[in-house]
Amino acid sequence: MLVKFTNALLCDNAQLIPGDLWVDLKSGKIVSPNPSASHETIDLHGAVLSPGFLDVQVNGLYGLNFSDLKSTHPKAVKEFKSHYDDAMTKYLTTGVTSICPTVTSNFPEVYESVLPVLKPSRSTHQTDSLGAHLEGPFINLKKKGCHPVETFVDAHEGPQKMLEVYGGEDNLLDNVCIVTAAPEIPGVLEAIPELKKRNITYSIGHTTAEYKTGLKAIDQGCTMITHLYNAMPQPHHRDAGVVGLITSPAAGPEKTPYFGLIADGVHVDPSMVTIAYKAAPEKCMLVTDAMHLIGLPDGTYKWDAQEIVKTGPSLKLKGTDTLAGAATTLDACVRNLVHWAQVPLEVALASVTNIPAKAINVQDQKGFLNVGCDADLVVLDLFGHIKQVYKLGVRVTEKEQVRAQL
């Protein structure tokens, strides 16, 4: 069965172009126009039709912490998987059709149990996983954020240590997309090429590294920075630090790393969001850094041995000013970028579609409206508000939209 989306403003490559989009429901992919074939026509009445959003840093959803599976017991895995499927179904209604479920610093047994659940997926009814994002535990104690320090390790034994902590070669190869680690931690620089060989993106984060160490990481194969500005030294005009890598003459435009930016107005001041975005718009990816409290009412919530206070989009460890992730949806971050950086909607949407897809090398499957890409689609009004979501060409039902609001 073919579907033709017509009377649409096709949003791709930071452009809005009036036109039609054809989808094959059997394959779930975008296809070449075929007017002579039997097809359904969906009139979008001038609305924006964008690729589904990609978020490479999401820690949890609707009460589920992606790091919270500490047992391989079948009952525990079954319960976690049920909650995971439910959360990923609800999250689809926010326009985010693919994520890298993020596991914060943890013990080896957690990676062993949870990564097989977070493995890459392709579904018509829920947000896909593109593979897990492992944020830690090879990070710097001085930039720990809310990560549990008892899990921290170094990699002085080399890449083998990472394999040991992350549950072995197969667990890493089959289930992981991104590893965030601090390059100054012993053994991390040497492990970067090994991660790259396994098609895993290495990202600098939770680090005290100075600019020169950042350049060494790029030389080794680093292509990403995790939540720019957060959990790293702030730039100084004589010591740019990791932030300076996004405009580094030494690295050059081709090696400028992609960088995540949390445009929620809590993690980064709007003026600093604008500075980073304007410096390298072609490498900027908006991320939510969403915690499991997204979608839940304001209040105080238990998180392992800690407590988190949720106040609107702000999440902080109780009794401190330490940020503990975020609770803002990605479409809201897009609208913030439009307003703060004064860029058109189609330009801002590239930061949640085309750019993250290229950053993790899935541009042939996700994040574009090209023939052969998955028909993960978001219909928006001209102000960036979501009107409808399609997953592999299948419309998200009203029932799922209601469930997501509960």
Could you write out the DSSP letters of every residue in 14-54? TEEEEEEEEEETTTTEEE---TTS-EEEEE-TT-EEEEPEE
Q: What is 2-50+373-404's CATH number?
A: 2.30.40.10
pLDDT of 403 higher than 70:
no
Q: Note the pLDDT of residue 321.
A: 84
pLDDT of 126 higher than 60:
yes
pLDDT of 398 higher than 70:
no
Band of the pLDDT at 406, cuts 50, 70, 90? very low
CA distance linking residue 360 with residue 130, whole number of Å:
9
pLDDT of 182 higher than 80:
yes
pLDDT of 402 higher than 60:
no
**What is the CATH topology of the domain spanning 51-359?**
TIM Barrel (3.20.20)
119 phi/psi in degrees, rounded to 5: -60, 160
Looking at residue 206, its amino acid is H
How does pLDDT run across 84-125, given as a tens digit for each residue? 999 999 999 999 999 999 999 999 999 999 999 999 999 999
Task: Please give the share of the chain, as a percent, with pLDDT higher than 90.
Answer: 84
| pTM, to two decimals | 0.94
Q: Where are the domains of the chain?
A: 2-50+373-404, 51-359
Q: Note the pLDDT of residue 295.
A: 83
Which residues lie closer than 8 Å to 373 by C-beta, 6 or more apart? Answer: 29, 30, 51, 364, 365, 366, 367
Task: Please give the share of the chain, as a percent, with pLDDT higher than 70.
Answer: 98
Q: What is the mean pLDDT of the chain?
A: 94
Q: Among residues 82, 5, 119, which one has the least CA distance to residue 376?
A: 5
**Contact (Cβ atoms closer than 8 angstroms) between residue 345 and residue 338:** yes
CA distance linking residue 179 with residue 22, whole number of Å:
36
Least confident of 131-145, 151-165, 185-199, 275-289: 151-165
Band of the pLDDT at 399, cuts 50, 70, 90? very low
CA distance linking residue 111 with residue 118, whole number of Å:
10
pLDDT of 324 higher than 80:
no
Read off the pLDDT of each residue in 228-251 and give the average, rounded to a whole number: 93
* CA distances in angstroms from 110 to 72, 144, 161, 171, listed in the order given: 9, 19, 16, 12
Q: Note the pLDDT of residue 326.
A: 81
Cα 114 to chain center, whole Å?
A: 18
Q: Note the pLDDT of residue 254.
A: 85
Read off the pLDDT of each residue in 318-344 and give the average, rounded to a whole number: 92
Burial 251-283 (b: 16+ CB within 10 A, else e): beeeebbbbbbbbbbbbbeeebbbbbbeebbeb
How does pLDDT run across 273-292, given as a tens digit for each residue? 999 999 999 999 999 999 88
CA distance linking residue 403 with residue 87, whole number of Å:
10
Least confident of 82-96, 230-244, 261-275, 298-312: 298-312
Q: Let me know if the fold of 2-50+373-404 is the same as that of 51-359.
A: no
**Which residue numbers are catalytic?**
289
How does pLDDT run across 367-378, given as a tens digit for each residue? 999 999 999 999
